[in-house]
A and B are shown apart, each in its own frame.
Chain A
Amino acid sequence: MNTLLSVANVDAGYGDFQALFGIDLEVDEGELLALVGANGAGKSTLLRTIAGALKPFDGTVRFAGEDVTAEPDVRRARKGIGLVPEGRRLFASLTVEENLQVGAATGRKGPWNLAKVYEAMPLVADRRTRRAARLSGGEQQAVAIGRALMGNPRLLLLDEVSLGLAPVVVDQLYTALPGIRAEGTTVILVEQDLNRTLAVADRVACVLEGRIVLTGRADRLTRDQVTAAYFGTGTLPEVTSS
């Protein structure tokens, strides 16, 4: 397996506040890694650091064999790191279709275009001429994912896709995941629902107070192990590498 992303010894935070401590993480090409952890654990901070929206205090981020630590988010997007940010952040005055078209600004060639996004997410196709500001939460999330796909990322970072959405809507969104993975896209996913996480992920990494306290293959971890790591309770299991 080729390592696509490797994060080594990363400290990161905001101003004087440190949110991440010595993060080490490797993700293989084509893999789906899920990040789990309580609110404020540092999951979004880690995704933002990988996408380059946040500069780490220390450590390195390597992508596709290249040290990208010094590269800003703009350059990393063009190299193929796509972030679906927490809170969706659609362009409110643009229509759904225009939001998707702006997503293609990475200039990357690949399988994703308007037709294919509409095919993978009928929810989006039905709303193409509507302004993003007038969408429901689920529709917004679907457009945010579609917009990132339009950039043809090699690595797709999904931050809290299900936040504030009804389970049926979340189910609908997750049906797009196999299609995305079928294109060979590597995915890092932040998800609160542990059952769902363990069902879709190849590998799980638990973040607790800015540190990765447990990683392991999803099919070898038990719910209890993950829960213990999640809350930092009980005896932590051995940190297993995949």
Chain B
Amino acid sequence: MTWINAIVQGMLLGGIFAMAAAGLSLIFGVMRIANLAHGDLMILGGYVASVAAAHYGVPVPLTVLVSMIAVGALGYLVQRSLLDRAMSLGELTPMLVTFGISLIIPNVLVQVFSNDAQPLSTGSLGTASIDLGGDLAIGWFPLITVVAAVAVLTALHLFLHRTQPGRIVRATADDRTTVRLMGVDNRKIYALTSVIAFATVALAGSLYTMRQGGVTPYEGQLTVLFAFETVIIGGLGSLWGTLAGGMVLGVAQSVGAQISPDLPLLAGHLVFLLILVVRPQGLFGRSVPA
């Protein structure tokens, strides 16, 4: 039963990875930028939520929204002031800019909040669970997380495939100069993409922080790895793949932890490498992104 439990817990953890990875995949698909700051933005999202609760008395469920709005707005600023310009300078320049951001965020967090964990508690929700008999129990909070992940990915999918702005985002991913001939300013589409990606990673970061009970400045170095692994396991450009990728990584880590407390990260990396070798395009990979 402990094994089944490990798998279930892993799938719930995978929901957070999937949410975090969706924005990474979107930014890469539309702008061809590998956002190395994605993990640190996730952690920043966690900080915003926890500070909002601790210092401004925002009710914990609402901190998620506060974080999404704040980090989403940051996405707009970063895109317009830094990434747009970087994109016009060269292929690799935007990635270097995101690398710079990934250095700045944890250092600023250490300066302002010290190295200590910034707590964020969901109170009784954190421990409440549904008993399924035997050793098997599903925590309410992880369950909410996984439902949120499915909801976010579904919403993103519907947006991209069923709405005119979504179609334009996909068209821009295909050919950024040709959309201009249809009256579409590709830079506005980039800004929209970044806002969506930053807001979803803030959501993932807030839930991640609640799940851990708190957050520390340098955790982004790990979460960025999880996000990249999730995208690559699932296959670039497929949102369902991203969900599957998150689940696979979550289960690998959770089962690894069941074998030995030292093992979760290694187990995750091994599964990632295995998939890279056996199926380099990922589980749901397509040749055409988004």
Q: Which residues of A line the B interface, CB within 8 A?
A: 51, 53, 72-75, 77-78, 82-83, 85, 89, 91-94, 98-99, 101-108, 131, 133, 147-148, 151
Contact = CB atoms under 8 A, between A and B. Distances in A.
B183 interface: yes
B132 interface: no
Given A93-B288, A93-B289, A98-B167, A105 B177 contact: no
B83 to A, nearest CB: 19
The 9 closest A-B CB pairs, nearest first, are A106-B183, A77-B183, A93-B288, A91-B174, A78-B183, A91-B171, A89-B178, A105-B182, A102-B171
B91 interface: no
Interface in B160-214: 164, 167-168, 170-171, 173-175, 177-185
Contacts of B215: none
A120 B174 CA distance: 27
Contacts of B174: 91-94
Given A101-B164, A133-B288, A93 B181 contact: no
A91 B183 CA distance: 15
Contact of A83 (B168, B173, B179, B181): B181
B167 A94 contact: yes
A72 B182 contact: no
Contacts of A94: 167, 170-171, 174
B167 A73 contact: no
B25 to A, nearest CB: 14
Nearest to A150: B182
A158 B183 CA distance: 17
B288 A92 contact: yes
B180 A72 contact: yes
A28 B182 CA distance: 23
B290 interface: yes
Contacts of B182: 77, 102-106, 147, 151
Contacts of A98: 167, 170-171
> Which residue, of A51, A74, A78, A89, has the highest number of chain B Cβ atoms within 10 A?
A74
B178 A74 contact: no
A22 to B, nearest CB: 26
A67 to B, nearest CB: 19
Interface string B137-179: 0000000000000000000000000001001101101110111
Given A102-B182, A103-B182, A105-B183, A93 B164 contact: no
B288 A101 contact: no
Contacts of A74: 180, 183-185
Contact of A101 (B167, B179, B289): B167
A80 to B, nearest CB: 10
Given A89-B175, A92-B288, A102-B171, A51 B164 contact: no
> Which residue, of A82, A92, A99, A105, has the highest number of chain B Cβ atoms within 10 A?
A105
A107 B164 CA distance: 12
A101 B184 CA distance: 13
Contacts of B168: 102, 105
Nearest to B286: A93
Contacts of B290: 93
Nearest to B166: A98
Interface in B266-290: 288-290
13 contacts: A53-B177, A53-B180, A72-B180, A78-B183, A82-B181, A85-B181, A91-B174, A92-B175, A99-B171, A102-B179, A105-B179, A105-B184, A147-B182
B268 to A, nearest CB: 30
A148 B182 CA distance: 7
Contacts of A85: 178, 181
Given A92-B288, A108-B183, 8 more contacts: A51-B181, A53-B181, A92-B175, A93-B170, A93-B173, A98-B167, A98-B171, A106-B183
A187 B175 CA distance: 25
A208 to B, nearest CB: 27
Contacts of A103: 182
Nearest to B178: A89
Contacts of A93: 170, 173-174, 288-290
A55 to B, nearest CB: 13
Contacts of B183: 74-75, 77-78, 105-108, 151
A91 B174 CA distance: 6
Nearest to A103: B182
Contacts of B184: 74, 102, 105
A159 B143 CA distance: 56
A104 B183 CA distance: 9
A93 B178 CA distance: 14
> Which residue, of A73, A107, A148, has the highest number of chain B Cβ atoms within 10 A?
A73
Contacts of A131: 288
